[in-house]
Amino acid sequence: MSQELWNAVDHYFDGLFLPEDQALTQALKDSDAAGLDPIAVAPNQGKLLYIMAQLNQAKRILEIGALGGYSTLWMAKALPEGGKLVTLEIDDNCAKTAQKNIERAGLQDKVEIKLGPALYLMNDMVEKGESPFDLIFIDADKENYPGYFEYSMKLARKGTLIIADNVVRQGAVIDADSPDTRVQGVRQFNQLVATEPRVTTTVIQTVGSKGHDGLGIVLVTSDSISG
């Protein structure tokens, strides 16, 4: 199997199931023009987030890592009238680019960008008694994935779906001795999830235009450890 073939298969399915959306297309172009890393989710992964949000009837979504707002748009499009998506972003350039893309798509009434370190912002949300979220998408610095999961559980409820991107790392996740701090962060995240009694979890490996990686899909099944 080759990257060229994976790209071709993605292109084939995108042509069938992903009609042209100018706001989404322009979001990627603007992210590139702003010098952002080309690490947004693939179009078919964005559509998966959209479907998952609809399946979970999400009215409140939390995103950790906005980048240029591409995945933000996909999930916000799935929100019903009165729904809200809060996205956390530490980089000012990313936040400004995402805000521009959100406004172009006409989703500014549904999306709020919070600027700052995600762990700090999540702690603040917990302390202020933020209402639980129906869907939480984790796609930021891998070193902090363990902390993001711990705070996500504090901002979740029974039935909340937590999706974590990039948990396979081209297979490097199986290397316990990896010197890569991103790999170690993901491994610690996986271990935390595996020992958390309030969730049920699976991981799906993916290949495609983004290479070999995967998504962690975590369903919160209980509001409390005793539940």
Instruction: Give just the sign of the alpha carbon dihedral 9, 10, 15, 17.
Output: positive
Q: Report if residue 225 sits inside a domain.
A: no
The pLDDT of residue 226 is 45
Domain assignment present for 226:
no
pTM of the model: 0.96
Query: Is residue 151 a part of any domain in this protein?
Result: yes
Residue 219, strand partner residues: 161, 200
What is the pLDDT at residue 227? 38
In a domain, 86, yes or no: yes
Mean of pLDDT over the chain: 96
CA 167 → CA 148, 184, 193, 218, distances in Å?
A: 13, 10, 12, 12
Does any domain span residue 105? Answer: yes
The CA-CA-CA angle for residues 114, 119, 123, to 5°, reads 85
Q: For residue 1, name the pLDDT band (cuts at 50, 70, 90).
A: low
* Overall average pLDDT of the 164-176 stretch: 96
Residue 151 — left, alpha, or beta (φ > 0 → left; ψ -120 to 50 → alpha)? alpha
For residue 223, name the pLDDT band (cuts at 50, 70, 90).
confident
- The pLDDT confidence band at residue 126, using thresholds 50, 70 and 90, is very high
pLDDT digits (tens, 9 = 90+) for 20-54: 899 999 999 999 999 999 999 999 999 999 999 99
**Is pLDDT above 80 for 215?**
yes
Range of the domain at 66: 3-220
Which pLDDT score is estimated for 134? 98
pLDDT reported for residue 143: 98
Q: What is the pLDDT of residue 137?
A: 98
Q: Is residue 227 a part of any domain in this protein?
A: no
| Angle at 209 (CA atoms; ends 203, 211), nearest 5 degrees | 55
CATH number where 149 lies: 3.40.50.150
pLDDT (tens digit per residue) in 82-97: 999 999 999 999 999 9
Total domain count for the chain?
1
